[in-house]
Structure 1
Amino acid sequence: MSTHGIGLVFPGQGTQKQGMGEPWRSTPSWALTSEISEATGEDLAELLLETGAEQLRRTDLAQLTVFTVAVIAHAEAVRLGALGGDVVACAGHSLGEYAALTAAGALTVTGAAKLVAARGRAMRDAALEREGTMGVLVAAPLEAVEALVTEVREAGADAWVANVNAPGQTVVSGSPAAIEELSARAPEIGAKMLRLQVGGAFHSPYMAPAAEALRTALEAASFASGHLPVVANVDAAVHTGDGEWPDIGTRQLTSPVRWEQSVHTLAGQLGCVRLVELGPGRTLAGLVKRTLPGLPVVSVDSPAAVEALLVPAG
């Protein structure tokens, strides 16, 4: 396929599934599981091959496993030369930002893995401290969702916009009562609520304790002073180093993920003419197609998909 102006995108928590490491275990890049296991104290091979779906829903384990599959997929694509020489930028959805930073050269695999482990633990602890949940409002414009969320919050319930994923797909976060209220009132704005099976109210003020804990790890981490452009979730802007990431990573936990705008940044400001999603599932490809239907996007979720990148288009 043509590789001119490629943007790499990496999925977040929620894309994990039982046995998702199986397709990768015979590849040379599977060796990364040992490095990540040593860095984090978790047995990634067991998590990716044997651990059941219910256990993988645990926030800290979900994040580590999705990150590991994403960096393995990227490493295999690089090893085989499947991405060509025209990768111009990276971006990741929430947790995926750490795989994006790794692919961009801002972090080493083990450095990023340690941060992912710290982030997952901090978010899990914060969720245990204060119960929260999330849901997706589909089919309504962002402005209508924001107005409804504001109305519910001003009435005394804890509700916030958490992810602006694509036109007609906005994730909300908050207390169980607030999400229940938003679900009941969704038809008022022509929307339908789909509940998310998550362990907390992520990307909301409920994650403030996690952000405080994560900041310590981020400030101790070694980020490269310059790297391939990464579009950050918090502002959908381009960042290339200069010590910004500890602040950006801290803010990300309590701020909305601006994914729809990030896709526009990749295609517009950064000139990406196609995107490659690396990691489990094909969630981001679907969001990209809803945001910019004319922008080619391919999902690389298996070695076969990596090899397909090597086949010329047409």
Structure 2
Amino acid sequence: MRLSIFLFLCAVLFVCPSCTTTDTVRFDLYFLNASIRERTLGFIEGATVSLDLCVYDISDPEVLRALAGKAAQGVAVRVVTEADNLAELGLLTRELEVVVDDDRGLMHCKYMIADGKQVWGGSTNLTKTSLDNHYNDIFIASDPFIVRRFQDHFEHCMNGLFKGDRPPAQDKGSIYFSPEDLPFNALMNLLSSAKEEVLIGIYAFSDYRIAHFLKVLSAHGVKIYVFADRGWNQGSPYSQSVEVDQYTLLRYDLLETGLMHQKFIVVDRSAVLFGTYNFTASAETKNDEYLILSREASVVERFRQRFFELWKASE
């Protein structure tokens, strides 16, 4: 078994990620809950022509009122969401164009596109607890290529193409939608470049391949920090937390009413991967997800600072 894992990882590490200029694009990043709610509502309010939402869960009362208000103003509001959460939209389903995913895993994305010019995304669902109580992040970007990548994905979903039905992107531009763009390979490629330090902030960690490779990195002198959600990782029989605790510095959140819901990896102060992708097999093969690779120094440093803020808060 260990030999097969090693050979698989070797094969993955020789797959080069797409090398384009989009991994140096600047993002506006927000982590504090007050900022996340304010910026999210501001993003919705700023839409004047169209607002496309591809979000796992939408139930926050303020968000629902804002969406209803936009629709009443004549803004074309379209929604893609997880089928199991459709009821939370309530009467809005009569006013908006809504598409739900199929039953092959989760529609786990979280992003919005305003007027075809700006993208909001990150780990945050549009629920009260996600906006107010959880450790989350959002980004806002207006780079035309990034907007187009998300718009293309959205149009596929609106046309009923979920999970493995979508074709892989010809030019990923350091944005990896799951499963078609193989974000797991991007993740492993980034980890393989680590020489000194890996910082991981994660909600669900059950992928044994990632856990095993962290052990390999640790054996080669890479210092690895993992900050994980306490409830999921101490409560799930599939969690790899007991395994990784043997060769990493591991801490859990101390939140009483929220989750550690972020998903990001910072490597050697040189690159960060972030998005909706948990360290699970479902994220790789069954769910609609995405990861973004950034080498922009300001973005990397913001995530690194965020990690150690979380780390200190768990002391």
- The TM-score, its normalising length taken from structure 1, stands at 0.31
Q: With a CA cutoff of 8 Å and minimum separation of 6, indicate the structure with the bigger relative contact order.
A: 1
TM-score by structure 2 length?
0.31
More strand per residue: 2
